[in-house]
Structure 1
Amino acid sequence: MGQTTSITLEATDNSSWLDEFIDVYQRLNKDNLALLTRIYHFNVVFEDPLHRVTGRSALTEYFEHMYANVTSIEFDITDRFVSGNKAALYWTMTYQHSRLNGGCPIRVLGHSRLEMMDKKVIAHRDYFDLGQLLYEHIPLYGTTVRWLKKKASQ
């Protein structure tokens, strides 16, 4: 007879760091970027389709530039998964930018992969459609991008 191997996975709720992360993001705006020190490790690596930023100071500067023309931003967390020191968040971001989409709200679906060290995020990678975020909302250029996306899906 064959030998049976049994693996027991211990269920632990180690998600307080993720709760803190979500809480900060849902309150974050250009006037309270100091909150980033509560959730990001000093040596954080942050990546999205536009940038790769290393270090909490550089990340704070990135957010300062990003929020400069944003009149409002909201994150609706639609799902979350936690496994030890790693997590995935699925979200809908709604933002308004003075020079995009006539200043009207823009919705972007995306998700984030997070890794924690010392109860702070050490690695953060965002995944989203850059066209949905930006390109589709630039006058003239946006029309071309939307047309290309439509043609590609036929």
Structure 2
Amino acid sequence: MNGTVDLAERVRAYAEFFATLTPQSLDRLDELFTHRARFKDPFNDVSGVPAIRAVFEHMYRVCPAPRFEVREWALSGQTAFIRWRFTDGPTVGRRMALDVDGMSRVVFDEAGRVLEHVDYWDPAAALYERIPMFGALLRALRRKLSAE
């Protein structure tokens, strides 16, 4: 391609990386991210590959079987939008399984490496509403603020 990067192919490969993510594949983060890349989600805002790796290592420690299902993606300039579903295994005992729909905005540099990855998802619906008293309060608040 005369030295140019096929960004659509890079986005496809990046989405596939998350769809097949394992603890072993974290070794590939250096290939995918720039050394000062930023990763942000509702609980983390970190920069640099070692910090990004730490976020995913933590995920593997607290989630028994994390899985990302990439539903679709779109590309606009150097920015990709990836819609996904995250699950972390079956409900076991008192531990309720997570089932989260979300979207990532991923900005690529000219070489096709990730400069910034920002996840957007609703932690209240995914986590907080599962806490007995807090969840009841959030559900009541949602009903009160709903237009329906």
| TM above 0.5 | yes
Contact 1:70 1:98 in 2 (8 A): no
- In the alignment, which of 86, 104, 107 is matched to residue 112 of structure 1? 104
Partner of 1:129: 122
Partner of 2:94: 102
Contact 1:85 1:116 in 2 (8 A): yes
Normalising by structure 2, we get a TM-score of 0.81
Q: Is the helix fraction higher in 1 or 2?
A: 2
1:1-154 counterparts in 2 under 5 A? Answer: 14-96=7-89, 102-117=94-109, 118-153=111-146, 154=148
- Partner of 1:105: helix, strand, or coil? coil
How many residues align? The count is 142
Residues 93-118 of structure 1: CA deviation (Å, up to 9, x unaligned)? 2224889x933432211111111112
Residues 23-42 of structure 1: CA deviation (Å, up to 9, x unaligned)? 11112134542232232221
Deviation of 1:19 (Å): 1.4
Moved more, 72-81 or 30-39: 30-39
The RMSD of aligned alpha carbons is 2.5
| Counterpart residue type for residue 105 of structure 1 | A
Query: Closer, same or farther in 2 for the Cα pair 1:119/1:24, shift >3 Å?
Result: same
What is the aligned-residue identity percentage? 28
Structure number with bigger Rg: 1
Partner of 1:8: none
| Counterpart residue type for residue 94 of structure 1 | T
Distance in 2 separating the partners of 1:53 and 1:29: 20
Distance in 2 separating the partners of 1:112 and 1:106: 18
Deviation of 1:63 (Å): 1.6
Normalising by structure 1, we get a TM-score of 0.78
Runs of at least 5 residues in structure 1 that lack an aligned partner in the other structure: 1-11
Distance in 1 separating the partners of 2:21 and 2:108: 19
Deviation of 1:13 (Å): 5.6
Distance in 1 separating the partners of 2:66 and 2:123: 16
Moved more, 127-136 or 34-43: 34-43
Contact 1:96 1:103 in 2 (8 A): no
